[in-house]
Structure 1
Amino acid sequence: MQVQQTVDILKADLPTLFEKDISYHIYTKDVFFQDPVNKFKGKINYRIIFWTLRFHGQLFFTEIYFDLHDVSQTTPDTIVATWTVRGTLRVPWKARIFFNGYSTYKLDPEGLIYQHIDTWDRDPGEILQQFLGKGEDVTPG
């Protein structure tokens, strides 16, 4: 698979990951995933994490967005995506969540993604603290 095709698929999939499923044919069956709160291996688990994101996004938020800023090939076997997650929690005080991050995807010789590592700009506990505050205090204005 051509790297540019994988980049294009990520560009199409990521902005709507809270709304609809992503394309799984660009990942190996034993894809490894890690973010600050999860770590697992296998495409079935990878599918579950994206289902969980959609489910919790719809259940706990009145609105939630995955703003994709860039997806680019940084080395022959690496793609990096930069993004922001933002949303409004389904609570009376309309708490907001906002954090930036980047995803590093490693490619095997066939061009399939075998590793996906997410890095966030703050600790998970700090993100959870946003749920307790007023929405207008979270995002830069």
Structure 2
Amino acid sequence: MDIIEILKADYQRFPVDQTYSIYAADVYFQDPLNNFRGVERYKKMIKFIQTWFLNCRMDLHNIQKLENTIKTEWTLSWNTPLPWKPRIAISGWSELGLNSNGLINSHIDYWHCSRLDVLKQHFS
């Protein structure tokens, strides 16, 4: 299966049953809250999201491959496990770098909002 089709399917069922075999073992991950290296750490982060975020959704708006880079545009939303269960949404994009074997060796997420904007959503 084509990596684009795999990513589309992963986004649809995120954070459940992600396809980690498309990532290099030493993949570099970065978002506004984290940066680390290694697919095992990435699995732990996804497991954290799966465990603590309620009704998690990853809506994919666009995906395109340009040579050795895949760019995705998305909105991640969930309910935070606070008594009032606020619905939080972050829109952003990812740049996925591919190595010579066609595996993702870097995954960098960017947000269209600040970390403070995300925090404020919990209380609005």
TM-score computed with the length of structure 1 as normaliser: 0.81
Contact 2:14/2:56 (<8 A) preserved: no
1:67 to 37, 52, 59: 59
Q: Distance in 2 between matches of 1:15 and 1:44?
A: 22
For 1:129 and 1:47, the matched residues in 2 are separated by 28
Aligned-residue identity in percent: 35
Counterpart in the other structure of 1:13: 10
Separation of aligned partners in 1, 2:31 and 2:82: 26
Q: Aligned-pair RMSD on alpha carbons?
A: 1.6
Q: Which runs of 5+ in 1 are unaligned?
A: 134-141
Partner residue of 1:33 out of 26, 29, 53? 29
Listed as ranges, the gaps of 5+ residues in structure 2 are none
Q: Deviations over 1:91-127 (max 9, x none)?
A: 4544221221111100011111000000001111210
Which of 114, 118, 122 is the aligned partner of 1:127? 118
Aligned length: 124
Equivalent position to 2:48, from 33, 48, 52: 52
Matched, 1:96 2:87: yes
Which is higher, the Rg of structure 1 or of structure 2?
Answer: 1
CA distance in 2, matches of 1:48, 1:90: 19
